Amino acid sequence: MKLIDCTVTEIGAALDAGQARSVDLVEQWIARTTAAATLNCYTAFDAAGLRRQAAAADARRASGQRLPLLGIPVALKDNIESVGLPCGDGTGALHGQLATRDAVVVQRLRAAGALIAGKLGMHELALGITNHNAVTGAVRNPWDHARIPGGSSGGSGAAVAARLVPASIGTDTGGSVRIPAALCGVAGLRPTVGRVSRSGVAPIALTRDTPGPLARSVADLALLDTVLSGEEMPMSTVALRGLRLGVPHSPFWDDLDAGVARLANAALQTLRAAGVDLVDVKLPEVAPWSEEIGFVIVQHEFLRDMRSYLAERACGVDFPQLVAGIASADVRPLVQALLQGPAVSETAYAQALQTRRQLQDSYARAFAEHDIGALVFPTTPSRAARIGEDQSFIHNHRPCPTFATFIRNTDPGSNAGIPGLSLPIGLADGLPVGLALDGPAGSDRRLLALGMAVEAALPPMPLCPSWN
């Protein structure tokens, strides 16, 4: 296996041992990215900048410096600001506009020695899960180019799966890191809301938004999490024997496609054989509460938070101009309605926040009363839909709404603000399937340790076919 096909931790160890140079590896990543251009993962790829950064990283290492990500490329979703690169949020009015500051997460990546590789494609304004973007084009799933990579961080998932870059940073509001992780066959982490800075990141709704990493192993996610959050708590070792995981059968395990059901149930059997105690957990109120509050919060906060972001960025674009530049047919009507005035009253918004607190309490009680480390369920009910199936797709022999179906399992935890992890568990008819683990609020490091133990028990994910 080529070193560029390895994980972040493996690449870092080889660089530290003097077995490779960043400048040589970067040339291989550049060549592969060029060969895989049809995937349309990047909205901006900085090959010259990558070479400069790699040479500087090798010089620092030669001088004796050691940093967690020194000389390792990381790519960014197109809603994360990075000096010298465009930050278009996937939309027409901002497309190609260079950022004049680094988001806090980018500052942390640079301080850890990471090379910023470029900007990755996303669903327009992050308001969707197909990544079928009319401004920058559709990002294609590396496993099947006719299918979606998931979203809204679709480029972030596809680029890591195709091994164009060993890690990426996306953002997650309702599943936008975990859904592409699942559909592209990589690992993704949604941190507890507020744990990773959102400064310098174009918002949807600050109550729900969080940046999060995607990579090819949970150990890589843990390393990136330390960098992004600044939390240096050592990873504990979790033994599977005696570990209690909650299985919330309804609705999380309902109406799965055959491939998802087969692999997810096989994963449970493997965990049970390894000594995991699988506990039935009933959360009947979670889905209706989440459905009740999710869009209300987004409608209210997007108008407020995006206006504040545009003013702070001083990019010469106001909210009406932003709306005028929207090109994607599924996003335009959603945002245009907000121009008519606040679609959600202050009373309705306050009620949604109150219901959110009830949702959070329900999750907290479930974790405490059942003494479980995490809830386990399929990340998405279906494998990747086809590109162009923006409004509906055929799921279990009937038309189903694309957006609502794919966020069904990730949105409740997002609304509660709790941490979530998606792990790849194999291929069903050539398409990846993901297994999700949701943990209690603030339990991110414990969840990652738990995820490493689960990952080690499951069959390794095969490599996606390479482009060189």
CA dihedral over 387, 134, 168, 129, signed as positive or negative: negative
The three-state secondary structure class of 121 is coil
- pLDDT confidence tier of residue 139, bands split at 50, 70 and 90: very high
Q: What is the pLDDT of residue 232?
A: 83
93-106: pLDDT as tens digits: 999 999 999 999 99
Q: What is the pLDDT of residue 460?
A: 95
Q: Report residue 428: phi and psi, to 5°.
A: -120, 110
Query: 3-457 has which fold?
Result: Amidase signature (AS) enzymes (3.90.1300)
Point out the residues that are catalytic. 77, 152, 176
Q: Tell me, what amino acid is at 396?
A: N
Lowest mean pLDDT among 54-63, 185-194, 333-342, 394-403: 333-342
pLDDT at 342 over 80: no
Query: What is the pTM (predicted TM-score) of this model?
Result: 0.97
429-448: pLDDT as tens digits: 999 999 999 999 999 999 99
- Mean pLDDT, the chain, rounded, equals 96
Our separate counts of H helices and E strands in the chain read: 16, 15
184-209: pLDDT as tens digits: 999 999 999 999 999 999 999 999 99
64-92: pLDDT as tens digits: 999 999 999 999 999 999 999 999 999 99
Quote the tokens at residue 309: 């972001």
pLDDT at 464 over 90: yes
The three-state secondary structure class of 319 is helix
10-49: pLDDT as tens digits: 999 999 999 999 999 999 999 999 999 999 999 999 999 9
Cα dist from 118 to 61, 204, 215, 433, 453, whole Å: 23, 22, 16, 27, 32
Quote the tokens at residue 86: 């465009």
Q: How far apart are CA 331 and CA 329, in angstroms?
A: 6
Q: What is the pLDDT of residue 374?
A: 98
Q: How far apart are CA 67 and CA 113, in angstroms?
A: 6
pLDDT at 468 over 80: no
pLDDT at 400 over 90: yes
Which sequence spans correspond to the domains of the chain? 3-457
Q: How far apart are CA 436 and CA 251, in angstroms?
A: 14
pLDDT at 218 over 70: yes
